[in-house]
Chain A
Amino acid sequence: MGGTGTPPFFPITPEEVQRFCEFLYRRTGLSFAQGKRYFIDRRIEERIVATGASSFQAYFSLLRADADHEIEHLINSFTVNETYFYREDHQLRCMTSSLLGGIANLKPPGSTIRIWSIPCSTGEEPYSIALWLMENWPQVDNYNIEIVGSDIDTRALKAAAEGIYGPRALMRLSRDIVTRYFKPVANGNHQIDEGLRGSIQFTRANLIDAQDMAQYRDFELVFCRNVLIYFDDASRRQAAENLYDCLRPGGYICLGHSESMSRISPLFSVCRFPDAIVYQRPESDHG
């Protein structure tokens, strides 16, 4: 069947949608309200066409086997995956309102607080962490804050180090912040302040590679958002164990808004704060 003209109409049955939704919920935790049924039908149809599957059943088999990373393509079609400054800012708020208070209580002024953004992609996340801390944490000047941004993609890291962003990336930032921390450059873009660029350490790292990850230790806080959901079971376990070792006992990890440790690993405790659910490496093995 060729790819020209309108795609064939697949009358996906309600039972097929149910089967699909149950699989997706079990595997990822993603779920949809009844009112979103039309949205789901369209996404499934798109994926059937994109994969060249001859039917829903054929597509579903492919999906269950995660052939050609279909789970990743599927999830991407459901979720907005754009990166921008202050994305999911409730977690940044949680950081300053809830997490850092406890951390700072245990550390004398002048100590180092290490925060990791992995994957950091083109840098919006680690820079956001830096900006948010400077703008919202009263105790920010009392500590040495080390922010590391890591990714497996060296081109993204290069872009992160350059720190040049278009208007969409900055859309959540107030004009005041943009004025104070960025300077306009060519093509309507802005570049983040040199001091900030110099203060973030960008490195290449692979979450699943224990050797890579062995070099990262003693983090108080890790942002690992919107990547684990794409991994298979074995890789998720591996990444979770690696991240556990990278955190200090009592350190916290934030996942993406559609992600949950319930689909990843039992190593971490669930912590509920006013602004977010985060996960904690237990202080000790007991209790």
Chain B
Amino acid sequence: MPLVRGGAIGPDVGGDLTPPRTTLDSTDAESRWTAARALAGRAEAVPELAAALGRETVPRVREAIMTALMRVGDSASVEAILPFLRSQDAALRAAAIESLQALPEAIAPFMVPLFGDRDSDVRLLATELARNMEASAATRLLCDLLEREPHPNVCAAAIDVLTEVGTPEAIPALEKCALRFAATPFLPFAVSVAISRLSGAEG
């Protein structure tokens, strides 16, 4: 019979999962990956992880570092991830948003400053962070943004999140937005869909 029951589970693996922190500097990607995974959730490792994230080029190691920071989940780790919203690298921006999205409580104090950022791309990405928030809080934040926001793409992103998360309180802000951008492609459509979704919402 070709089926064999393995004696040990896999080859001999030492139980030690904690390599020294310096291997985050290693020239070998596999070592950096292992180091990042071992440091997941360690609050004291946040500065080290943040620095490593800034210079890491191998995508899977970046993922592991983001996960490690996300597992800490405190405001220090949020602050470590935030600068990557400004990255020129789309993949890094996406990874940053994903990690932050999983931390709605930790990111909450940063929402207003993010929505006031002078970079429209940062404001746009930040709308995604409201998606995992409680409905009234998310609605208030996004409506405040809609009232002031000059950039149509940021408004479009906010409307998309409101369509999922919003309460009927959002309808007046949405209507005003549609008027402001009546001549802009897509915005009037987005508003009308959002309003129709939210109108039946109070059960």
Contact = CB atoms under 8 A, between A and B. Distances in A.
Q: Find out whether A and B make contact in their complex, taking CB atoms under 8 A apart as touching.
A: yes
Given A140-B2, A145-B3, A215-B10, A234 B63 contact: no
Give the bracket for the number of chain B residues in contact with chain A: 35 or more
Given A57-B202, A199-B5, A285-B29, A15 B10 contact: no
Nearest to A197: B5
Contacts, number: 118
Q: State the majority secondary structure of interface residues on A.
A: helix
A244 to B, nearest CB: 7
Interface in A35-64: 54-58, 61, 64
A64 B165 contact: yes
A275 interface: no
Given A56-B203, A211-B17, A134 B2 contact: yes
B200 A15 contact: yes
A233 B101 contact: yes
A199 B6 CA distance: 8
Given A13-B200, A18-B197, A267-B60, A210 B17 contact: yes
B4 A112 contact: yes
Given A22-B164, A201-B9, A237-B67, A196 B202 contact: no
Interface of A: 10, 13, 15-16, 18-19, 22-23, 26, 54-58, 61, 64-65, 112, 114, 130, 133-134, 140-148, 195-196, 198-201, 203, 210-211, 214-218, 232-234, 237-238, 241, 244-245, 265-267, 285
Interface of B: 1-6, 9-11, 13, 15, 17, 29, 37, 40, 58-60, 63-64, 67, 70-71, 98, 101-102, 132, 134-135, 163-165, 167, 196-197, 199-203
Given A144-B4, A266-B63, 14 more contacts: A18-B197, A19-B197, A22-B163, A64-B132, A142-B2, A148-B6, A148-B9, A199-B3, A211-B17, A215-B10, A217-B10, A245-B37, A267-B60, A285-B59
